[in-house]
Amino acid sequence: MERKGHILVVEDSTTQAEFLRRILDGEGYRVSTAPDGTIALQQIAGERPDLVMTDVVMPGMNGYDLCKKVKEIAPIPVVLVTQLFDPEDVVRGVACGADNFIIKPFEPAFILKRVQEIFLKRDRELQGNDLSITISDHTYQINAKRETILDILLSTYAIAVKKNADLSEARDELYGLNEQLNEKNEALKSEILERERVESALYEAHRKLNLVTSITRHGLLNQFGAIHEALEYTERIIGGDTASAKESLKIAITGLERAIQTTRFTQEYQKIGEKTPVWERLINLIPPSDEYQIRIHADIPGDLSIYLDPLGEEAIKAIIGDAVRRRAETVTITYEKMKDSSVIIVEDDGIGIPEAGKEALFSYESIPGRGFSLFLAREALAITKITLNETGDPRQGGHFEIHCPAQVIQRTSG
């Protein structure tokens, strides 16, 4: 490759010097380097380059001083490589005799264009031509005085600096607005999620209201029917078989008791969904052992909170109550984090539950004598999409699993 000219790069940064050398060498220029102004002057004294490209900020002699000394030696073109932020820098560079500037950070194509312009200018001066400038393939003859040209350049530079400052300010403002928008988006997402939870809970409440109406009607009609038949029979045999009358009255009383229990149940059931679900610490839902005369071991994080209907807080107590009825001595409560959900496991060492009887545990027909039943526990948890099932081995006691979707269980602080 034919070399186009000799360029001396003066740069105290080895990395920057090598970067410039590679760019220029790849374009066919012969390149030498110097780490500071003193060594650069020594090299120029030995062999004059066609162009000096120097950094401005260097230890010892800066780029402005080096430019002056180079011009004192010979009319060698000098290009200053710097970061220009003030018109005074431009004036200082022109005053020391600089022929052009390269602004950091720079692109290889820009450097090569500036170097090419320097060499073209040198060739025109050698030919004695008037000052001409080529822009976008058009050549313009310049007849203005140096002062006029300098005033125009400084004015243009000042405008560019102002536009750059305005652009930076607009960018910072845009960044701030974007941050605010992100915060509002997060708040909106949280509000939408909370609204979806409330709407879901409201839907469940309506569904349960319809169910409780059906349960009430069915239960009361059955019991009142039994009472009616027993009383009719008693009326027919009054004065006759006293034993049969007593038995009939006993049936009527039992029917009334069941009707009362059904009514009380519907009273409890109606409370489910009446209030907005709340976040509650899971550890607070576990009763002390002495409340049931049973050992309770809980291995769950203390900062774990669960989002549930207020009546859902009684679910674990209902499970423990069922374990007591099955003669359990120990209940163990653990927590497992899964991919898209979490599960709370309540195990006991009581009598196992046959497969055929597992679902019957959660039937409203098994309510009498059970207080806050497993049926009510399951219904209350379902308000926030939490499920409750018994999945244990019939030979190894109870094994209840409370499955919680990811959005209703979380770690909290404080």
Count of beta carbons in the 10 Å neighbourhood of residue 98: 24
Per the listing, tokens 């959660």 go with: 362
Going by C-alpha positions, the residue among 273, 114, 138 that lies closest to residue 207 is 273
Q: 51, 96 in Cβ contact below 8 A?
A: no
**DSSP tag of 2:** -
Rounded Cα distance, 385 and 391, in Å? 19
- Can you give the pLDDT of all 414 residues of the chain as single tens digits? 556 789 999 999 999 999 999 999 999 999 999 999 999 999 999 999 999 999 998 989 999 999 999 999 998 999 988 876 566 777 788 788 888 888 777 788 888 988 888 888 776 665 555 566 666 666 656 665 666 566 556 656 655 666 777 787 888 888 888 888 888 888 888 888 887 877 777 777 667 666 766 676 666 767 777 776 776 667 666 655 677 767 777 777 777 776 776 666 666 666 777 788 999 999 988 888 778 788 999 999 989 999 999 888 888 888 998 898 899 999 999 999 988 899 999 999 999 999 988 888 888 665 444 445 888 889 889 999 999 999 999 998 999 999 999 999 988 765
Residues sharing a CB contact under 8 Å with residue 178, sequence separation 6 or more, in sequence order: none
Q: Is the dihedral of CA 50, 56, 58, 63 positive or negative?
A: positive
For the sheet containing 387-390, what is the strand order?
Answer: 295-299, 330-337, 341-348, 399-405, 387-390
* Residues 92/97/100/105 CA torsion (nearest 10 deg): -50
DSSP string, 197-228: HHHHHHHHHHHHHHHHHHHHHHHHHHHHHHHH
Give residue 62's pLDDT.
Answer: 92
